Structure 1
Amino acid sequence: MKTINVTIVSAEKELYSGVASFFAATAVTGEIGVYPGHVPTLAQLKPGQVRLTLENGTEEVFWISGGILEIQPKSVIVLADCAERAKDLDAAAVAKAKAEAKATIESGKPELDVEKALIELTLAKSQLDAVNRLKNL
């Protein structure tokens, strides 16, 4: 089975460095799937999941807040602003953050920073998606 080297790093730490048979993430232009031998590509990533299929067929799921993706025929590098393994995310805390952001937006208070609340809501939704994907594996 052909594999591709994958490295996922955030500003704080390296989350993954190893091989995979498939890589997937969401760029601002849409979903990107990468198999070994992919053409060189640079892309900006949206908040969401990064998924790896390992050589043994198991899937690893990560959450990123956004970042840059570099694809080469034999390697993939994700430079994320913030990133975590989906299994390390606290589903209850993420659900609470999502509810609070939604309530803030719906409050309509004049001093409300709508842009900040929308960003928080987007990040919380993307984290919940990663947690839920992990549960369905």
Structure 2
Amino acid sequence: MKTIKVNIVTPDGPVCETEANVVIAVTEAGEIGILPGHIAMVAPLQIGALRLKKDDATEHIAVHGGFLEVRPDVVTVLAQSAEMASSIDIARAQAAAKRAEDALSAEKDESNYKLAELELKRAITRINVYETRKK
């Protein structure tokens, strides 16, 4: 089966350079699947799991916003932050989720409430991506 090159980059540097048969990303418009030879496009990403399928394996990566650039031979993810499932510190992610939940229950200011919601979403994404590697 054909593959497409995948590069995931954050402001801190490259996170992953690999190949995949299918790339599945969560964009602002919904979930999108990308196969080799896909038409060129750019899409803003949501906080969510990026899935890279190659043969019978699926790699999950926690992506926290950014952009997806697709060309027929390469997919580039420019993310604010991204973590491979194998590098996620689950205790830290669970602590971040707890802090965000506490902030949500106590927060009255709308802008701070929205920031706490985003923090909770990032923490939940990291926890979910971590848990998929055990399956």
Whether TM-score is above 0.5 comes out as yes
Spell out the pairing of 1:46-57 with structure 2 (5 A cutoff).
46-54=46-54, 56-57=55-56
Report percent identity of matched pairs. Answer: 33
Work out whether 1:42 is the aligned partner of 2:63.
no
Task: After the TM superposition, list the runs of 4 or more consecutive aligned residues in structure 1 that deviate by more than 3 angstroms.
Answer: none
Structure 2, unaligned stretches of length 5 or more? none
Q: CA-to-partner distance for each residue in 1:6-35, whole Å, 9 max, x for gaps?
A: 111111021111221111110011111111
Equivalent position amino acid for 2:114 in 1: E
Q: CA-to-partner distance for each residue in 1:101-132, whole Å, 9 max, x for gaps?
A: 1111112466x921221121111111112112
- Scaled by the length of structure 1, the TM-score of the pair is 0.89
- Scaled by the length of structure 2, the TM-score of the pair is 0.90
Q: For the Cα contact (< 8 Å) 1:48–1:129, is it kept in 2? A: no
In the alignment, the residues of structure 1 paired with residue 56 and residue 87 of structure 2 have an alpha-carbon distance, to the nearest angstrom, of 21
In the alignment, the residues of structure 1 paired with residue 107 and residue 24 of structure 2 have an alpha-carbon distance, to the nearest angstrom, of 37
* Alpha-carbon offset, residue 3 of structure 1: 0.8
In the alignment, the residues of structure 1 paired with residue 116 and residue 70 of structure 2 have an alpha-carbon distance, to the nearest angstrom, of 32
Work out whether 1:121 is the aligned partner of 2:120.
yes
* Alpha-carbon offset, residue 81 of structure 1: 0.7
